[in-house]
């Protein structure tokens, strides 16, 4: 009987941990996405990094949008990044940014 209650407690803890993890990943994706423009039926969102873009696309598809177009660019290194990281800033570049246009 005691063994069963420990198992139930472990299952409940695992479910809470999984819910927390899903909430945190969703919050992280939202923090790395920035809606730049909304017009009639279209929304333009800028994402920082490929993972954030993939999570954002899935979230927007659940809301009834589909991807109309997508582009990406590599931000410049910048002088402060070069001054703080030195030569390593040439190796570790900033994350790519993705601009996705959604339509309903």
- Judged by average pLDDT, the poorest of 17-21, 37-41, 43-47 is 37-41
Distance, CA of 28 to CA of 38 (rounded, Å): 22
Q: Tell me if 10 is assigned to some domain.
A: no
Q: Tell me if 85 is assigned to some domain.
A: yes
Report in angstroms the alpha-carbon separations of 46 from 20, 24, 41, 61, 90. 26, 20, 17, 16, 24
> What's the structural domain count of the chain?
1
Q: Tell me if 8 is assigned to some domain.
A: no
Q: Tell me if 49 is assigned to some domain.
A: yes
Given a cut of 60, whether residue 9 has pLDDT beyond it is yes
Averaged pLDDT for residues 23-45: 70
Structural domain that includes position 74: 32-103
């Amino acid at each position: 009987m005691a063994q069963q209650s420990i198992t139930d407690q472990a299952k409940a803890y695992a479910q809470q941990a999984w819910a927390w993890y899903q909430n945190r990943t969703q919050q992280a994706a939202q923090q790395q996405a920035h809606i730049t423009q909304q017009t009639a039926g279209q929304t333009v969102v800028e994402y920082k990094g490929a993972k954030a873009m993939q999570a954002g696309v899935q979230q927007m598809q659940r809301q009834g949008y589909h991807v109309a177009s997508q582009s990406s660019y590599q931000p410049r290194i910048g002088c402060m990044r070069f001054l703080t990281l030195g030569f390593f800033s040439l190796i570790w570049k900033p994350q790519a940014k993705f601009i996705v246009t959604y339509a309903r």
